[in-house]
Structure 1
Amino acid sequence: MEIAASNHQVSQPVTSQASSTSLSSDYETFLKMLTVQMNNQDPLDPVDSADYAVQLATFASVEQQVMTNDLLTAVQAQLTTMGITQLAGWVGMDAQAMAPGQFDGEPVEVATYPDSLADQVELVVHDENGTEVYRQAIEVGQQNIQWGGIANDGTVLPEGLYSFSTESYADGLSLGEQPADVYSRIIEARAANGGIVLVLEGGAIVNSSEIAALRNPA
């Protein structure tokens, strides 16, 4: 992770320098072409000076836009690198996020958010293929639940990623399904698509802004 950030910092000035060199070369070529145009114009019908001014202004505008784009790219790269550095301290911590959780033989802590109008709530667990593997009635209201990787028939499920949700009911009628949060270990902070994402234990990936809570590992 640190090596990737370092390489990114080194490569950026090269790109900016190349752009500046290209702009300088293009500007010199433009001036040469403009000079040739002036030398070879019809003396009886010379080009209006306003036309030259428009050409110069147009080129200057394009040049300024390219330089602005290079500057914004450099700033974005710097901010991304700073973000990775700041989030590096999160690696190794347990994060609460609405993402699949890794069951590795130890209980998975699930934070539930059932509908506030519910008088009956069920915790539902799906495996990586989307197959329901567990369903159990739980207490009404927000709470943290320890799921021990047990299926409804009492067998221990294989290690892997599992997603969690609650189904809420009121007077026997369904109020819908609500996703649940899971506490997972952060194993990597990574730059992606102009932002910072966190890789959780088991391979789930979430944006850093989606982390609801952090804590030291138990």
Structure 2
Amino acid sequence: MDIASSTSAATAAATSSNSGKTAIASDFETFLRMMTTQLKNQDPMNPIDSADYAVQLATFSSVEQQAKTNSLLEAMGAQFGLMGMAQMAGWVGHEARAAAPVWISGDPVSLAPNPAFGADSAVLVVRDFEGNLVNRVNIPASADPLEWEPVDQLDAPLAEGTYTFQLESYAGEDLLATTDVESYARIVEVRGGAAGATVVLEGGIEVPVAAVTAIRG
């Protein structure tokens, strides 16, 4: 778990809350000074109606309470986020399944293909980090997990690096769909951020938590 990110989130929430309180106090003091000045300089022959002051005070009080409520909700949201990070820290060391690039270093790759409905054949398309085609492999048109040995079209082992996988689903000779293939990779870190939590997979590949469809030990 990224402790620094968690601490930063809590600090930011506290700073935001404190800043809100300081701003409210400053505005309230300004409001009182303006009201005092208004009282001192009003026309004795045409004094301001006390009801107007009551309305002004009530309005400011309402705004003040709303600002405090917003600050409280922000702090609560940050705390809930930290609770989620603490729970997700248990994912580290497990494998996440997601449609994301895969770091290949010689070991078999665990794939979870999902052929289109009606497909009777499928082709696994493998590309390197720059998008160059490195292999096309005929695989069963099945959603069963697949352990694939990372080799190129000449059956030579792929160089260490990041690769992407897509699946072409066919009905006869007709291409039904081309979809990204989900794969399993070990989680090395869980991070929090403004855009939400992410898991860091082997090879430094970052995946939003929302994109993770399964976790296994």
Cα RMSD of the aligned pairs, angstroms, is 1.9
Deviation (angstroms), 1:13: 3.4
Tell me how far apart the structure 2 counterparts of residues 13 and 146 of structure 1 sit (CA, whole Å): 48
Q: Distance in 2 between matches of 1:2 and 1:75?
A: 19
Q: Which runs of 5+ in 1 are unaligned?
A: none
Deviations 1:163-217 (A, max 9, x none): 112101113111010221110011111112252111111122222232222222x
- In the alignment, the residues of structure 1 paired with residue 45 and residue 84 of structure 2 have an alpha-carbon distance, to the nearest angstrom, of 63
Aligned counterparts of 1:128 and 1:183: Cα–Cα separation in 2: 18
Task: Specify the alignment match of 1:61 in structure 2.
Answer: 62
1:120 corresponding residue in structure 2: 121
Task: Give the match for residue 169 of structure 2.
Answer: 168
User: Helix, strand or coil for the counterpart of 1:24?
Assistant: helix
- Normalising to structure 2: TM-score of the pair? 0.90
Whether the 8 Å contact between 2:5 and 2:192 is mirrored in structure 1 is: no
Partner of 1:137: 138
Do the aligned partners of 1:16 and 1:70 also contact (CA within 8 Å) in 2?
yes
Which residue is equivalent to 1:151? 152
- Measure, in 1, the Cα distance between the counterparts of 2:49 and 2:59: 16
Residue 93 of structure 1 is matched in structure 2 by 94
CA contact (8 A) 1:165 1:179 kept: yes
Distance in 2 between the 1:133 and 1:178 partners?
17
Query: Given the superposition, is the C-alpha separation of residues 30 and 134 from structure 1 closer, same or farther in structure 2, using an over 3 Å criterion?
Result: same
Letter of the 1:135 partner, please give it: R
SS of residue in 2 equivalent to 1:106: coil
Matches within 5 A, 1:13-92: 13-92=14-93
Instruction: Spell out, residue by residue over 1:39-94, the C-alpha distance to the aligned partner (whole angstroms, 9 max, x if none).
Output: 21112232233432332233223222321221122111111111111111101111
Q: Shift of the alpha carbon at 1:99?
A: 0.9
Deviations 1:2-48 (A, max 9, x none): 34424543554354234323322321221121122022111223223
Map of 1:9 onto structure 2: 10
Aligned with 1:202: secondary structure? Answer: helix
Matched to 1:143, the amino acid is D
Query: Which consecutive unaligned segments of at least 5 residues does structure 2 have?
Result: none
Distance 1:8 1:120, change over 3 A: closer
Q: Do the aligned residues in 2 keep the contact of 1:105 with 1:159 (CA within 8 Å)?
A: yes
Q: Once structures 1 and 2 are overlaid, which stretch shifts more, 90-99 or 207-216?
A: 207-216
- Sequence identity (%): 43
Cα deviation for residue 146 of structure 1 reads: 1.9
Q: Aligned residue pairs: how many?
A: 216
Aligned to 1:203: 204
